[in-house]
Structure 1
């Protein structure tokens, strides 16, 4: 399905960096931003996904007439995140949009959760968001133009048994978003978060049938969300149309939070 966001209703300028952009929600975000005329840096985290990311970047160029490149970087490393932002700017133009979408899960009940599993989820999901924000901000503040969209989750708002590490990381992203929004609003840089509910991705497909049915029973719209549902919200927050919106957490959850 093609994204519904077009140049007719969104105006993009410069380059957008999307972490974790090669698959799932990140992939749909890249498509929405490219369809709005934005050059896109597709971040992926490992050599194993390099070919997929490179092929996807080429398809964005062919389909939407923008410039797109794939960049490998583990955003849990500040040095790697800083290099990602610098390389993207050199290749595609000033970074005007940053979408912190990279995230992992290592689920387990707290009593059995390994310390390294807790630390790794925090390092990628929360510290990775800090790393990329910190690297992108100087250019955005200097230009007095920037949009940062951080990917949180309804789990960060309500919690979820067996996901203490993931929930903590996503709740931390909400606090980071609101605090950073206060710091840079006067520089015409907005910082918002999107909190997806249960979205039809590889992550939710790995759930047991019983768990999926339990999730569906809580969703008012009685369906899982699509990656495009989240991507459309991200693209709006990244556009000029959302210039007076900052420090907000937008739920894209089909009514599970009602």
Structure 2
């Protein structure tokens, strides 16, 4: 129970990596706010985990007002902000550059990069104001940030931006006792990957030395490590969890 007594908030908690992360953080003793734009999905996560350590909350990470309400909710409910913030919310709107619409670019930017920025900024500020040390922020990038897949210019750019944001935040927040790290998952068996064309998935499997998709729990275990004091000197890292895909 390495996270006993800790409070965490996980965005994108309604499915995939976010849901698995809620389960593992609760397993390790943390109380978890399962945040998702889809409240029903967040409620299902809490129900699936089946204990009173997980509370669902509707949050739109692209909205400063919504993120600020989430900060206030955590302080009202628990008398303190979370010391663990996992930014797992993310979307794709794939399309080749010549066909990519402004709306599809803006939507992906708003959730993946702006949302990570707002959550990191607002919750780190709350930690500092409440004198919480040993804070941990974990941001979800993607190996696509380094592979630069055709048809994913908007997604890849936002995920590369998450790495840069993470590195800068780590330098700025270290003096406050807040570590900030990023994870770059490979192709993971989640709803986001389910819609990828089968031909693309087969190509990924051929290029992956382990020959399979990753499981959400395999990403969540790394998140749980970064959330705990076991990683107390890990700061500003961008950790690939890809099965060797490159």
State TM-score, norm by structure 2.
Answer: 0.95
Q: How many residues align?
A: 243
- Decide which of 61, 64, 84 is 1:78's aligned counterpart: 64
Report the equivalent of 1:4.
none
| 1:68 paired to 2:31 | no
Gap change, CA 1:58 and 1:210, over 3 Å in 2: closer
Matching of residues 117-128 of structure 1 within 5 Å: 117-128=104-115
Report the equivalent of 1:116.
103
State how far apart, in whole Å, the 1-side matches of 2:49 and 2:214 are.
Answer: 23
Listed as ranges, the gaps of 5+ residues in structure 2 are none
- Residue 58 of structure 1 deviates from its aligned partner by 3.8
Deviations 1:193-233 (A, max 9, x none): 00000001111111222111101011011111000000000
State TM-score, norm by structure 1.
Answer: 0.90
Report the equivalent of 2:76.
90
**Which moves more between the two structures, 92-101 or 191-200?**
92-101
Matching of residues 36-75 of structure 1 within 5 Å: 36-46=28-38, 50-62=39-51, 66-75=52-61
Report the equivalent of 1:3.
none
Report the equivalent of 2:161.
172
Give the 3-state SS of the residue equivalent to 2:210 in structure 1.
coil
- Residue 144 of structure 1 deviates from its aligned partner by 2.3
Gap change, CA 1:12 and 1:122, over 3 Å in 2: farther
- Residue 89 of structure 1 deviates from its aligned partner by 3.1
State how far apart, in whole Å, the 2-side matches of 1:202 and 1:53 are.
Answer: 15
Matching of residues 14-33 of structure 1 within 5 Å: 14-33=6-25
Report the equivalent of 1:148.
137
**Which moves more between the two structures, 137-146 or 18-27?**
137-146
What RMSD, in angstroms, separates the aligned Cα atoms of the two structures?
1.3
- Residue 180 of structure 1 deviates from its aligned partner by 0.4
Report the equivalent of 2:117.
130
Listed as ranges, the gaps of 5+ residues in structure 1 are 1-6
Gap change, CA 1:70 and 1:11, over 3 Å in 2: closer
Give the 3-state SS of the residue equivalent to 1:122 in structure 2.
helix
- Residue 60 of structure 1 deviates from its aligned partner by 3.0
| 1:243 paired to 2:245 | no
8 Å CA contact retained: 1:17, 1:85: no
